[in-house]
């Protein structure tokens, strides 16, 4: 479902972006140079942070075999630009516009937006980014330059959220990769109830 933005509205502010997340919406542009629109997913997909979160045996083997390092927020801009894929897809297929990148960069500077990164001797090979508010992490996008790198970042994200007392990991919509981890689809009202509970108190520890 899409919530239209008025023609008269100026560029979206970081405050509006935060408010949208807290109301159950998420942003997407509909092209490289297009305006940001607000969307809700029905069903809304989350990843459980308890023992329902599953890691396949093959991925565990890859994690043991791959000589990699997990870093947090060491190169947020490179992560979000890798997720945007501006030079890999036609302009009309871009949903992470420059306006959105600027917004998330500002949220990163304010301590809300974060990246989980997978590094090897060859450099940054995968990662993800999202927004942390109270006990919720709103996952936005992932990328891989080698097989399974984004999934390794996701496992690291879940470990970090568990350690810090987060209770909700929103991934918006189901994808084949997300399904392997025990994804749960919720009706929008069910999601809003979990969201309200998760933002009612702060996490035990901040994300970073």
Q: Spell out the domains of the chain, with CATH numbers in brackets.
A: 2-198 (3.40.630.70)
DSSP track, 47-93 = E-SSTT----HHHHHHHHHS--EEEESSSHHHHHHHHH-TTTS-GGG
User: Which two tokens mark 188?
Assistant: 């929008």
Mind listing the pLDDT tens digit of every residue in the chain (208 residues)? Answer: 544 444 445 689 999 999 999 999 999 998 888 899 999 999 999 999 999 999 999 999 999 999 999 999 999 999 999 999 998 989 989 999 999 999 999 999 999 999 999 999 999 999 999 999 999 999 999 999 999 999 999 999 999 999 999 999 999 999 998 999 999 999 999 999 999 999 999 999 999 9
Full-model pTM: 0.94
């Amino acid at each position: 479902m899409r919530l239209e933005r008025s023609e008269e509205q100026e560029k979206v502010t970081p405050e509006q972006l935060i408010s949208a997340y807290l109301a159950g919406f998420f942003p997407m542009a509909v092209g490289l140079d297009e305006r940001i629109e607000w969307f809700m997913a029905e069903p809304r997909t989350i990843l459980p942070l308890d023992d329902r979160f599953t890691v396949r045996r093959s991925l565990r083997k890859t994690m043991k075999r791959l000589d990699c390092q997990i870093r947090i927020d060491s190169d947020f801009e490179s992560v979000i630009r890798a997720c945007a894929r501006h030079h890999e897809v036609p302009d009309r297929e871009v949903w992470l516009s420059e306006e959105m990148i600027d917004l998330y960069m500002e949220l990163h500077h304010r301590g809300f937006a974060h990246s989980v990164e997978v590094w090897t001797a060859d450099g940054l090979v995968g990662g993800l980014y999202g927004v942390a508010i109270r006990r919720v992490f709103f996952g936005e996008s992932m990328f891989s330059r080698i097989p399974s790198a984004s999934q390794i970042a996701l496992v690291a994200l879940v470990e970090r959220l568990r350690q810090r007392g987060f209770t909700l990991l929103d991934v918006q919509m189901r994808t084949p990769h997300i399904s392997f981890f025990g994804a749960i689809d919720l009706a929008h009202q069910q999601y809003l109830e979990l969201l309200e509970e998760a933002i009612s108190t702060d996490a035990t520890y901040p994300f970073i």
